Amino acid sequence: MYKQTKKVSEYELPIKIEPQKEGGYVVTCPNWSDCYAQGDTVDEAILEVTGVAQSLIDLYKEEGLKIPLQKQKEKGVTNAITLPVIVAA
């Protein structure tokens, strides 16, 4: 039986969640301007931004760009939540 091993990397994604006047939520990453999403609920917005982060990480790796996320918690970010983002290498 053939077993394939893949490396995985885990990044911490600090996010800020903001309710919108017209309804729904916008989620942004304070240290990665390319990474943002919106959703009708907080859960939906978080799920969307996680998917965006995974896609951006893959794109940045392909393009040889530096991924602006760290594997340790960001310091000095207020009103932020940190989400783990795991991608296959």
* Per-residue pLDDT reduced to its tens digit, 63-78: 999 999 876 544 444 5
| Residue 25 pLDDT | 97
Question: For the chain, which residues make up each domain, given as ranges?
Answer: 8-88
- What sign results for the dihedral spanned by CA atoms 75, 40, 37, 9? positive
More confident residue, 9 or 23: 23
Smallest CA-to-CA distance from 30 within 49, 57, 54, 55 is with 49
Q: Is the pTM of this model over 0.85?
A: no
Percent of the chain's residues with pLDDT above 70: 76
- Which conformational region is residue 26 in: left (phi greater than 0), alpha (psi within -120 to 50 degrees), or beta? beta
- The fold of 8-88 is Double Stranded RNA Binding Domain (3.30.160)
